[in-house]
Structure 1
């Protein structure tokens, strides 16, 4: 798991790549706490390995709970690189509208060039 923190004018982005586990979310929380208070924050998570999350002894419910906790804090979550089966699962669970999904990390970076949207719209 690799976590990077990138700062832009008024925005801090925490990017997590690789197989996600419990400690990943602890590290993400720490990165968010260290970010300047006066900036907006976003978390980008690689979705390639979501179907293998049980290998880390983390259940899908815990994973979704962590995402919902971020959303409750007003921190938009962007999932990138999720496989089609993962996208279908999120849609079946009606979670596809809560978290923005993009095909690749590069597409997530393209979101930075768009005008900031309201929190509700940015979380889609």
Structure 2
């Protein structure tokens, strides 16, 4: 049995929205502002498990921390340019653990506020 490939693009944005208890429109807005990982222009964009971590981080920064698109771009650039892949993955794993403590209802309450 093959191990899961975290870099293989298999998840549509609608599935990621469900995983994050977010609205698809919210994630599409992030995509339009250039906050999500770049994907080739195909009929249906698919994202990898590794991309989900970044998308969750972007959603956290925007919805919980209320950081605007320019601030999020700056944070993502700093992480990309100043961390090697190992440290970046460890950082996103820590963020993922913290996000698990925030319930989906908390995020929905903040989105409707």
**Shorter-chain TM-score tier:** under 0.3
TM-score, with structure 2 as normaliser? 0.26
Higher RCO (CA 8 Å, separation ≥ 6 residues): 2
Q: Which of the two has greater strand per residue?
A: 1
Q: Which of the two has greater helix per residue?
A: 2
